[in-house]
Each structure stands twice: as C-alpha cells, then as structure tokens.
Amino acid sequence: MAGYVYVWEFQVAGAQRAAFERIYGTDGDWVALFRSGEGYMGTSLLRDRNVPGRYLTVDRWSDEAAYRAFRADFETDYQRLDAACEGLTLAERPLGEYAEA
C-alpha cells in the first residue's frame, strides 16, 4: 500500500520565522506530537526560495488509516498545539492529501 502524505502551506511574518521553523521543523513540537501516532514516517519543512515567509510542510504516514487514527486518538493535543501556534502564521491552508507513487 502506498504511503499517505499531507501537505500544508503557511505564510509567516518575518518576526515569527525563527519560532515557526523551530516548532514546525524536524525536532519541533509538531513532529514530537506526530511521533505519538503509529505509522508516522516523518515531516519535511520546506522554505520557499523565492517568496519570503512561504513554507510547506509535508507530513508522511504509512497509510491514511494511520493518519486518521492519530487524529482521532490525539485530537485534543492536536487542537491545543494548533491554537498555541496560531500567532505564528499570517495564513495557512491545506494543499492536499497524496499517495506516494
């Protein structure tokens, strides 16, 4: 079965970029939370080279069921962390859910 990938786009103000990279990066709070879920395979944080403050996160899971189980099991923690990070971004939006080819 192909892996499951969830991609998000963020716009971050200059003053918040260091904190954003720390919290959303490979050793950050989001990764620490995701590691609680079975089937989590890693996150990439990508910084746009041409658009200042634009980032993508690419979260990888073994399959969609693992991601959905994580969200069900850790929804309260997820919402708490999401609320704590709200002031870091100017905008955020999901770019889609993908299967690794």
pLDDT at 69 over 80: yes
Q: Please report which confidence band the pLDDT of residue 55 belongs to, taking 50, 70 and 90 as the band edges.
A: very high
Which residues span the domain enclosing 63? 4-99
Does the pLDDT of residue 47 top 90, yes or no? yes
- Region 24-50: mean pLDDT is 97
Check whether 16 has a pLDDT greater than 70: yes
Q: How confident is the model at residue 2 (pLDDT cuts 50, 70, 90)?
A: low
pLDDT at 57 over 70: yes
Counted domains in the chain: 1
Asked if pLDDT for residue 34 goes beyond 60, the answer is yes
* CA pair distance 70, 95, nearest whole angstrom: 20
CB proximity list for 61: less than 8 A, separation 6 or greater: 3, 4, 5, 6, 37, 39, 40, 41, 67, 70
pLDDT score, position 100: 81
CATH code of the domain covering residue 64: 3.30.70.100
Q: What is the mean pLDDT of residues 69-82?
A: 98
Query: Which residues does residue 96 pair with via DSSP β-bridges, in sequence order?
Result: 7
Round to whole Å and give the CA distance between 81 and 26. Answer: 16
> Which DSSP letter does residue 86 get?
G
Q: How many beta carbons lie within 10 A of that of residue 71, not counting itself?
A: 11
